[in-house]
Amino acid sequence: MQVPPTHPPFFMHVLLVEDDAILADGIARALQSQGMAVDILGNGTDVESALQQCCINVMVLDIGLPGIDGFEVVRRLRGRGNQIPILLLTARDALQDRIHGLELGADDYLVKPFATAELIARIKALIRRSIPPPVELHIGGLSLDAFSKRAKINGENIELSVREWAVLEYLMQQASRVVSKQQIIDSIIPWGEELTLNAVEVYVSRVRLKISDANIVIRTIRGFGYMLEIKSR
C-alpha cells in the first residue's frame, strides 16, 4: 500500500528491528516516503548499541526476533530507565501477548498483517506524545497555558471543553501548517477511543467562534484540512 508523502512537523528517526528482510525493506521505504530516517536491525541483540550511537525518536520492534526476542528487549530497556517510545509488531494476536508487551513497558502494539498507513499514524502519534509541549502558547491575542489549562484572549479567560482545548492546542502547535482531520484525531485521542471526522468539524466550528476576537483564524483548506494563522490585514 502506498501512502502519499507528507511533511512531518519535526524530523523523525526510527529504529526498525525486524528479522524479515523483505518486510523490513517495505516498511523502511514507506517511512522514508514520509520524510523519516530509518535504521534497520535484524536482531534484538544489537538494539542497545544502536540506541547509543544516534538519537532515535521511536523504535518499531518485532517480537519474534532471533536470539533476544522483542519482549526481552523491552524489559531490558525499561529496566535501565530507557523510555524511548516502542511500538511492538507481531504475528501473535492473543490478548495475553498484547497485555504482556504493554505491561513490560511498550507504548503501542500492532498485529501483522497491518495497513502501512496505520503504522505511520501510530509512529507519528508516539513521537508527538513523547515531546513535551511548551508550557505556554501565544498566537495573536490568544494564549494557552498548558500547566493551568487556561485559555485567554487579550488577557480575558475563555471557556473551552476538554476536547475543544485539545483541538485548539494541537492547531496552535501546528500553526501555519495544514493538518488533516485524521491528524487531529491521531494527536488528541488515545488508541482504543474513537472520534469521527464529523465530530472534528463540530469542535473546530466551536473553537472558531470562541477565538473570533483573538486576531487569528482557523482556515479550512478544502480537501486537506485546517490551518491556524494570524489574520491578514
Mean pLDDT rounded to a whole number for the chain: 87
Per the structure, the complete domain to which residue 219 belongs is given by 136-230
pLDDT at 204: 96
Instruction: State which of 73-82, 90-99, 134-143 shows the largest mean pLDDT.
Output: 73-82
Residue with grid cell 548499541, as numbered in its chain: 49
Q: Are residues 155 and 87 in the same domain?
A: no
pLDDT at 193: 62
More confident call, 206 vs 128: 206
Give the helix/strand (H/E) hosting 188. helix 181-188
pLDDT at 8: 42
pLDDT at 142: 95
Q: Are residues 121 and 144 in the same domain?
A: no
Q: Are residues 126 and 144 in the same domain?
A: no
Q: Is the pLDDT of residue 181 over 50?
A: yes
Final residue before a domain boundary, out of 130, 146, 179: 130
Q: Are residues 170 and 77 in the same domain?
A: no
Q: pLDDT tens, 60-71?
A: 999 999 889 999
Asked if residue 210 is part of any domain, the answer here is yes
CATH code, domain carrying 66: 3.40.50.2300
Q: Number of structural domains, the chain?
A: 2
Q: Are residues 104 and 151 in the same domain?
A: no
Final residue before a domain boundary, out of 103, 130, 157: 130
Q: Are residues 47 and 100 in the same domain?
A: yes
pLDDT at 9: 41
Q: Are residues 53 and 161 in the same domain?
A: no
SS3 string, 1-35, reads CCCCCCCCCCCCEEEEECCCHHHHHHHHHHHHCCC
How many whole angstroms separate alpha carbon 119 and alpha carbon 198?
A: 23
**What mean pLDDT is predicted for residues 120-140?**
82
More confident call, 20 vs 91: 20
Residue with grid cell 535501565, as numbered in its chain: 80
Q: 80 is written with which cell numbers?
A: 535501565
How many whole angstroms separate alpha carbon 136 and alpha carbon 148?
A: 10
Asked if residue 6 is part of any domain, the answer here is no
Q: Is the pLDDT of residue 1 over 60?
A: no
pLDDT at 191: 45
Q: pLDDT tens, 182-212?
A: 888 877 775 446 788 999 999 999 999 999 9
